[in-house]
Structure 1
Amino acid sequence: MIHFKEIAKIMGALLLLIALLMLPAVIYSYYYGEDPWPLLISMGITGFVGLILFISFSKQDQNIRKREGYLIVALSWTFMALFGMLPFLLSHQIPTFQDAFFETLSGLTTTGATILTDIEVMPKGLLFWRSMTQWIGGLGIIVLTVAIFPLLGIGGIELFVAESPGPTSDKVHPRISETAKRLWYVYVGLTLSATILYWIGGMTFFDAINHGLTTLATGGFSTKNASMAHYDSAFIQYVAILFMFLAGTNFTVIYFGLLGKFRRVFQSDEFKTYTLAVLAITVIVFYPIAANGGSYELAFRKSLFQVVSLVTTTGYVTDDYTQYGQGLTFIFFMLLFIGGSAGSTAGGIKFVRHLTFIKNSWLEFKRLIHPRAVVPLMINGDRVTGRIITHIMNFLLIYLLTFVLGALVLSLMGYDLPTSLGAVATCLGNVGPAIGDVGPVDNFAFFSPAAKVFLAFIMLLGRLELFTILVLFTPFFWRAN
């Protein structure tokens, strides 16, 4: 039997937190002389519903099992999107449900795809809330990584190098809670650091804090229509590159680095692969971009920025990479399927899954020659069990099937093939820009209401590791024990 009352209490606490996080946006509205009532009313509604749920079920104290865990994760993002879109609806800046839901869920999943055609005319308070949704989503995925996913046994997280224990049938273990707290400190500290450096680089404080929030969330929402291309500053763009790269790194690796435990940093096979892959891909795309003219420094910066932005699923833009030629466009399209590191705020498949797949495939040749030999797969010096390998292989297969079927659905809705492939790939990977009519200088406003809801579902699937959502559609999930 599923403990729905315990779930309702947790949803109530979540909504109270969301209401509290709307307060800075209200303050910005007052500061800039805007109408604060859409945000105030949204804050009141969210807080009231959260308070009712929390008080009504506050006496519930039952263990959270796997079933409740899956529902909590799925409902958390859904509730946050439904209540988080209220400021956009009540202000009439985004007047339709489908558009407001798409924009808000795009923020919370840190996808960064937008339906807004003129961002700069939006009220400052709403722009700040829009950026805040991404920061909330980035923070939320860190908490899920160390507190919820180990409980659920989500694929890939078993290889996470955090100091968190394995699955537990009890509520959040104190050790997990302590780990989440440490990573939260890292997240906040890096956000503040990025904000300060953006400000020093010439951004207004408002723009700096917004970009600080969305950079560390690997979300990519900007306060400017041209995204990072608006700032023709090498300093600002290199700051963005640095913090996008850090945000795509396993936050436990960053934590060890800050403590000076560099041996632990370089013991991470995923971090080494992530770093080398970014550098290698940058070198590959550098020469064709440099051949188009301009300084070598500018060509290098463009190459590195686009690669880091797409690999970390941030989605900031400094140039239209679809104008570099079909070969480079295809390379950038393939980057939508990589993703950052496990334990980071990045979306996508994650390097640790790619690394496991490639290593296991290579070892399979050795097993063919020596069928009786025991050939273990090692990651970070530890043996990877067969169950984990199977889980990761299943994840990759389902990810590919979801991409293909999603693109087929959009094609049947009447959209051309490059646009369908690009839209599904970027939403599933939580990236933002893609190819076709959803390239770096385009947006998602032209999609039909049905297509927007469908793509919002794809975003949620990708952000919550596929299985978390798909298991809810299986009959045995709902059967009584």
Structure 2
Amino acid sequence: MVRTRVVIKYLGYILLFNALFLFIAALISLFQRESSLNALLFSAAMCAALGTFPYLFVEKVEELRFHEGLAISVLGWLLTCIMGMMPYYIWGGEFTLTNAFFESVSGFTTTGASILTDVEALPMGLLFWRSSTSFIGGVGIILFVLLVLPEKKGVQSSFYRAEVSDLSKMSFRTRSRHIVRIIVTVYFTLIITETILLKLLGMSFFDAVCHSLSTIATSGFSTRNQSIAAFNNARIEMVITLFMLLSSMHFGLIYATMTGKKHNIFTSRPSRMYMILVATGILLIAFQLFHEARYNLGDSFRYAAFQVVSLTSTTGLVTADTSLWPLFSIVVLIYFSFQCGMVGSTAGGIKFDRIYLFFHSVSKQLKLILHPNGIYTVKMDKRTIEHELELQIMVFIILY
């Protein structure tokens, strides 16, 4: 049985986390003397009040059951999206009730779709909140809450089981309680590094922060109507391309690379195959664009690399109008938007690892047809995949 008071207690933590970013957005509006100040302050105060009540008055719990962790995860996301729409709706502009909820859900799910026809008309405070929803949603608000929760029996494991896939957990090669810290460490390291590089290349600090939050979360929200194309800067595009690619790769492997471990993004077979496939897609499109004289050779690689990585990472930032590209290039881009990035990343979609294991599972079944008495296993980086996980992957792909 799910204990209601326990669920309410932890929903309070989630609301307080949202309130923190709303207050930061309100401070930006205050310093800029913007019209969004009241909307952001009211929303922040509402989140803080609703979050503080259960934090102070609801009794603490020593053990959290799995179904309670699942309920908190589902209700936490729903409540976050509802509270996240408040500053949009109160401020007004293009934000009707439906539009405000759409923009909020799009941000927290890192979908990146928008109802806005003029992004640049938004005050800086709201633009920061918009990017913050991507930041919060990218790694998962539940994981952020896990980071600050005490390591009590069942509390972290219940949240963790509800939030992280079995395939993703297997690739981390460490105990569950350490994985949250690894994910958040990589997340912040990538954001801070990209922000510094973008600032050095000429972006304003505000634009650099917002685009870094959007890039690493793979949401694609921009502060400009023309997205990254508005900057028309090849070096900025190269940096964002690199960080979109990193954000689409397994954070555990990135952490292993950062710390000098043997099993890293360069030694993992799925990771190497993923990078080779992305590079192949870039080459195919670049050579076609150059062959048909759409761009010179340098620009062909520049635009091909950005668009391929943007789609495979499910970020959605753009630097060119791909609808004008040749049919073959569009088909290649569609494939990458279907394949997407790796498990353990902020990228959405099916994930390359699942497709990789799916074809290995199909190969195993074909071998069993030819040799019924044979013993075959599916492996990923020398680790045997259990049959139950194979079935889960197949069901996931079919449902997708």
Relative to the length of structure 1, the TM-score reads: 0.77
Q: Structure 1's 346 and 79: CA in aligned 2 closer, same or farther, altered over 3 A?
A: same
Report deviation, 1:91.
0.8
The match for 1:260 is: 260
The match for 2:279 is: 279
Q: Is residue 382 from structure 1 mapped to residue 392 from structure 2 by the alignment?
A: no
Report deviation, 1:285.
1.5
What per-residue deviation string (whole Å, max 9, x for no partner) do you get for residues 329-379 of structure 1? Answer: 233223222121111111111111011001111232222211100011111
Matches for 1:301-340 after TM superposition, within 5 Å: 301-340=302-341
Contact conserved, 2:64 with 2:158, CA < 8 A, in 1?
Answer: no
Secondary structure, aligned partner of 1:300: helix
Secondary structure, aligned partner of 1:341: coil
User: Which residue of 161, 172, 179 corresponds with 2:171?
Assistant: 161
Amino acid in structure 1 at the alignment position of 2:184: W
What per-residue deviation string (whole Å, max 9, x for no partner) do you get for residues 77-134 of structure 1? Answer: 1111100111111111343221111101111111110000000111010000000100
Q: Is residue 199 from structure 1 mapped to residue 199 from structure 2 by the alignment?
A: yes
The match for 1:395 is: 396
Secondary structure, aligned partner of 2:265: helix
Percentage identity across aligned positions? 34
Amino acid in structure 1 at the alignment position of 2:200: I
What per-residue deviation string (whole Å, max 9, x for no partner) do you get for residues 434-470 of structure 1? Answer: xxxxxxxxxxxxxxxxxxxxxxxxxxxxxxxxxxxxx
Matches for 1:441-460 after TM superposition, within 5 Å: none
Matched residues, number: 388
- What CA distance in whole angstroms lies between the structure 1 residues aligned with 2:31 and 2:384? 56
Contact conserved, 1:156 with 1:342, CA < 8 A, in 2?
Answer: no
Contact conserved, 2:22 with 2:40, CA < 8 A, in 1?
Answer: yes
- What CA distance in whole angstroms lies between the structure 2 residues aligned with 1:376 and 1:137? 36
Report deviation, 1:142.
8.5
Report deviation, 1:150.
5.4
Matches for 1:28-67 after TM superposition, within 5 Å: 28-35=28-35, 36-65=37-66, 67=67
Matches for 1:366-381 after TM superposition, within 5 Å: 366-381=367-382
Matches for 1:143-154 after TM superposition, within 5 Å: 143=143, 151-152=161-162
Contact conserved, 1:142 with 1:180, CA < 8 A, in 2?
Answer: no
Amino acid in structure 2 at the alignment position of 1:76: G
The match for 1:443 is: none
Q: Structure 1's 272 and 297: CA in aligned 2 closer, same or farther, altered over 3 A?
A: same
After TM superposition, the structure 1 stretch with the greater mean CA deviation from structure 2, 51-60 or 295-304, is 51-60
Structure having greater relative contact order (Cα 8 Å, sep ≥ 6) = 1
- What CA distance in whole angstroms lies between the structure 1 residues aligned with 2:18 and 2:106? 16
- What CA distance in whole angstroms lies between the structure 2 residues aligned with 1:7 and 1:149? 11
- What CA distance in whole angstroms lies between the structure 2 residues aligned with 1:140 and 1:74? 12
Matches for 1:51-90 after TM superposition, within 5 Å: 51-65=52-66, 67-90=67-90
Report deviation, 1:292.
3.2
Q: Structure 1's 270 and 73: CA in aligned 2 closer, same or farther, altered over 3 A?
A: farther
Q: Structure 1's 148 and 223: CA in aligned 2 closer, same or farther, altered over 3 A?
A: farther
Q: Structure 1's 111 and 34: CA in aligned 2 closer, same or farther, altered over 3 A?
A: same
Q: Structure 1's 196 and 70: CA in aligned 2 closer, same or farther, altered over 3 A?
A: same
Q: Structure 1's 224 and 276: CA in aligned 2 closer, same or farther, altered over 3 A?
A: same
- What CA distance in whole angstroms lies between the structure 2 residues aligned with 1:386 and 1:150? 22
Contact conserved, 1:159 with 1:352, CA < 8 A, in 2?
Answer: no
The match for 2:152 is: none
Q: Structure 1's 160 and 285: CA in aligned 2 closer, same or farther, altered over 3 A?
A: farther
Contact conserved, 1:134 with 1:213, CA < 8 A, in 2?
Answer: yes
**Any gaps of 5 or more consecutive residues in structure 1?**
166-175, 400-481
- What CA distance in whole angstroms lies between the structure 2 residues aligned with 1:331 and 1:241? 17
Q: Is residue 117 from structure 1 mapped to residue 117 from structure 2 by the alignment?
A: yes
The match for 1:127 is: 127
Relative to the length of structure 2, the TM-score reads: 0.92
Contact conserved, 2:132 with 2:213, CA < 8 A, in 1?
Answer: yes
Q: Is residue 18 from structure 1 mapped to residue 28 from structure 2 by the alignment?
A: no
Q: Is residue 101 from structure 1 mapped to residue 111 from structure 2 by the alignment?
A: no
Secondary structure, aligned partner of 1:189: helix
**Any gaps of 5 or more consecutive residues in structure 2?**
147-155
The match for 2:91 is: 91
- What CA distance in whole angstroms lies between the structure 1 residues aligned with 2:246 and 2:273? 14
After TM superposition, the structure 1 stretch with the greater mean CA deviation from structure 2, 144-153 or 185-194, is 144-153
What per-residue deviation string (whole Å, max 9, x for no partner) do you get for residues 371-414 of structure 1? Answer: 10001111110111110000110111111xxxxxxxxxxxxxxx
The match for 1:226 is: 226
Q: Structure 1's 347 and 108: CA in aligned 2 closer, same or farther, altered over 3 A?
A: same
Contact conserved, 2:182 with 2:251, CA < 8 A, in 1?
Answer: no
The match for 1:417 is: none
RMSD of aligned residue pairs (Cα, Å) = 2.1
After TM superposition, the structure 1 stretch with the greater mean CA deviation from structure 2, 21-30 or 121-130, is 21-30
Q: Structure 1's 188 and 365: CA in aligned 2 closer, same or farther, altered over 3 A?
A: same
Report deviation, 1:269.
2.6
The match for 1:138 is: 138
Matches for 1:215-254 after TM superposition, within 5 Å: 215-254=215-254
The match for 2:153 is: none
What per-residue deviation string (whole Å, max 9, x for no partner) do you get for residues 266-292 of structure 1? Answer: 342321122111111112212222223
- What CA distance in whole angstroms lies between the structure 1 residues aligned with 2:72 and 2:267? 34
